[in-house]
Amino acid sequence: MASELGLVVVCPDTSPRGPDVPDEKDNWQFGCGAGFYLDATQEPYAKNYRMYSYIAEELPALVAANFPVDMSRQAIFGHSMGGHGALTIALKNPERYRSCSAFAPIVQPSTAGWSRPAFEKYLGADQKSWRAYDATLLIEDGKRYPEFLVDQGTADGFLEDGLRPWLLEEACKKAGIDLTLRMQEGYDHSYNFISTFMDDHLKWHAGRLA
């Protein structure tokens, strides 16, 4: 589908990796695999865990230098933690990304049970610094983006405690941001959910990148 639409899809890793990168091996909600697309300020994570800068600056520069792409037409999307990253990065760089969508994003990670501990480890105890990486709070603090597309499965086991798309819906409504929130009946958090609606997202982005 991406090829038919003339799109280049870039799939970055979710966190820094390597033998010298600090990590909690038995904690899938933190460290290797869970960088949360922020720039950590706390040791021992500040050196390596700079995923916001990687996605927003370093990776686009590498793509531009090595592939025949039009960098004036960029979009961003992601799933779960990646959906959180897509929303926050788009809100902070609205001039960069022409479109933004997400599958089952963590819309308010500063209060979600599976992300709050990671924020404290990466950013410290001062919760004011967390606001820069929380989509609902960025909107509350005045950040704007024209429109979002969000798909969320109704049978997602993380829906009530971790994802809570209604919080994004409320924030967007107050701010006048156009949000298309599609609650997909019976779908969970898995690959099948993403693969089922991926073509929809690619077409949605292609229409805005044209």
| Residue 60 vs residues 12, 137, 205: alpha-carbon distances, Å | 11, 26, 18
List residues with catalytic annotation. 80, 156, 189
Pairwise CA distance, residues 89 & 164, whole Å = 19
Half-sphere exposure of residue 80: CA atoms within 13 angstroms, side-chain side: 19
Give Cα 100 distance to the centre of its chain. 9
- Tell the burial category of 163 from Cβ atoms under 10 Å away from its Cβ (0-12, 13-18, 19+): buried
The amino acid occupying position 111 is T
**Beta carbons within 8 Å of 157's beta carbon, 6+ residues apart:** 188, 189
**Number of other CB atoms surrounding residue 125 within 10 Å:** 9
